[in-house]
Amino acid sequence: MKKSLLALAVLGAFAGAASAQSSVTLFGIVDVNARYVKTGDVKVKSLGTDGINSSRLGFRGVEDLGGGLKAGFHLEGALSPDDGTAGGFNFRRRSTVSLLGNFGEVRLGRDYTPSFWNLTVFDPFGTNGVGSFLNIFSQANAASSSSLSTPLLSGATTLVRANNTIGYFLPSGIGGFYGQAQVAANEGPATATAANKYAGGRVGYAAGPFDVAAAYGQTWLVGDGKFKIFDIGGSWDFGVAKATAQYVDMKTDRISLPLTATTNAAATTATGGAKVYQLGVIVPMGQGEIHAAYDRATGRDTFEGLKARQIALGYVYNLSKRTALYGTVSDLKNEGGSAFVVATPPTAFGIATNEKSRGAEVGLRHSF
């Protein structure tokens, strides 16, 4: 009996030592809002999600391997708290494993692309909700193939994230400089379902109230098509307000639409691009913050003359460090044949070419 107790005590000591060297965290965000969007003559009232943060559920952990080396993992999936579903819950928001040390971090799996990360960190709305910067150039928010976005992206799935990535992140503490590089394999022939090989990088410098970074990404599409994106952004915190600005240049060397699952044949080919910029500000007010942004996109090459403009204003009131009430309004104007809307899904609005799209939402966000 005494021997059994002694063995259990020894095992418990080893288990305690092991747990001290590793940790696993359950985390998440639940963000739900009441939303109203009017595009042309079509009006949609809904209970929406992701007004200021994307709803999610995830697990992350770190293990100390000794000698300054650590292993880590991050699994994160999207939630739809407005109806309680998880959309066949998976970890497509992020699913990575890493080695970390004085050399920086090597990360493998599905992850954000560097070119997108540079967009979201300098957007006062964090690329969420009716005020998102993505509203005027994301493929997901295109209401018709005549808009700036669908021809530009031409089936690229790497605007936000990429599969099969190998990434490297510079270590912290190198004089304010930071950066990352990433490549993603298509893992198969360049068919409609196995294209989107990606390569990109990001480099920046932050010191005190100042932060500036630039990123570039290239996606290889079906056939010989290439989607290229360059963006540069910055912010300056004046104390009374934080000003942000960014500029994005997108171009597709050659595009082929539509894509099909059984053939690489293209019904149409074209070239084109767009230049997009944003001016934003975040103004702290006690427990709250005012967020505002002015966004504009203009077409280039084949899409010369297409224009889109968005003005967004929002307020976030922090009830605590984890819980906030918020409200956002946005006004988007399409010109020259563009067809964007301030919220998804765009199919609810039909073709909105040259129409105005306006939205408002009031919501509650809680993180844990």
Per-residue pLDDT of the chain (368 residues; tens, 9 = 90+): 444 443 434 334 434 444 445 789 999 999 999 999 998 888 999 999 999 999 999 999 999 999 999 999 999 999 999 888 765 689 999 999 999 999 999 999 999 999 999 999 999 999 999 999 999 876 445 444 445 555 566 667 898 999 999 999 999 989 999 999 999 988 766 555 556 799 999 999 999 999 999 999 999 887 678 889 999 999 999 999 999 999 999 988 765 554 444 444 444 556 778 899 999 999 999 999 999 999 999 988 877 888 999 999 999 999 999 999 999 999 999 998 888 888 765 555 555 688 899 999 999 999 99
Q: What share of the chain is helix, strand, coil (3-state, %, to 5)?
A: 10, 55, 30
What's the whole-model pTM score?
A: 0.86
Q: With b meaning 16 or more CB within 10 Å and e meaning fewer, what string describes 111-143? A: bbbbbbbbbbbbbbbbbbbbbbbbbbbbbebbb
In whole angstroms, what is the distance from residue 265 CA to residue 252 CA?
A: 18
Instruction: Please name each of the domains of the chain with its CATH number.
Output: 112-367 (2.40.160.10)
